[in-house]
Amino acid sequence: MASKKSGKQAESLLSKWSVGDEKPVTIDKWDGNAVKNALDDAVRKVLTEHLKFVENHRVIDTRLAICTIACLFAVAALIYDYYIPFPTSRPVLILCVLSYFLLMGVLTMFTAFKEQNFIVFANEKDKAGMGPDHLWSVRSSLKRYDDIYELILSYEDGETKRKEEQSLKKSVASWFDENGVLLFDIFLNDIKEMHKGLKKEKAQ
């Protein structure tokens, strides 16, 4: 009897997660990477679909641009060497190789210091439509062999550049049932509470 009741409750909690024919998110609850990816995707869904923020791809686009330029140097070296074989192509090959490794170094620094463990950046449009967008960002972590998921929600005011943060640490068991199904409504409420907390701090 208890199992039937819990099953109905889980189905009710998942109603907002399902859109059309989309199935509820179900993962192997013993797979740490799958658990973290599911929660990270849920955070993005909350910000963009429930809070109506616009996802900002600037950081990802910058990383892709660095990778693309590095690959272009590698392709240029191959093409040039094909038409003008070594050793005539030596100066160009040296330039391309050095440029490639330089860009890989830049990418490593960018990932370590700028991208870090952020999972999403989003813009909140000014309600009056006159001021600059407010920037929201989220970073998360889930250590290996640990059940504690840490989430940090950050807010930056578009005008004053004032920054505020709210953090959350909880066991992943709080958001998944025994079958590995994500209980999205519970997770949604937790994120909304963090959002409300930041809004209160902003108003002060």
Spatial contact of 64 and 115, defined as CB atoms under 8 Å apart: no
For residue 70, what pLDDT is reported? Answer: 93
**Helix (H) or strand (E) run with residue 190 in it:** helix 184-203
For residue 128, what pLDDT is reported? Answer: 67
Dump strand ranges (E) for 60-127.
118-124
For residue 202, what pLDDT is reported? Answer: 58
* pTM reported for the whole predicted model: 0.71
- The DSSP secondary structure of 17-41, one letter per residue, reads T--TTPPPPB--TT-HHHHHHHHHH
For residue 200, what pLDDT is reported? Answer: 64
User: If DSSP codes are grouped into helix, strand and coil, which group holds residue 59?
Assistant: helix
For residue 201, what pLDDT is reported? Answer: 59
Q: What tens-digit pLDDT sequence spans the chain (204 residues)?
A: 444 444 444 444 444 444 444 577 888 878 888 999 999 999 999 998 888 898 888 888 999 999 999 999 999 999 998 888 888 888 999 999 999 999 999 999 988 888 778 888 998 887 766 778 888 999 999 988 888 999 999 988 877 788 888 899 999 989 998 888 899 889 999 998 888 888 765 555
Burial of 32 (0-12, 13-18, 19+ CB in 10 A): middle
For residue 19, what pLDDT is reported? Answer: 41
Residue 117 CA to residue 140 CA, distance in Å, equals 6
Phi and psi at 176, nearest 5°, equal -130, 140
AA letter at 9: Q
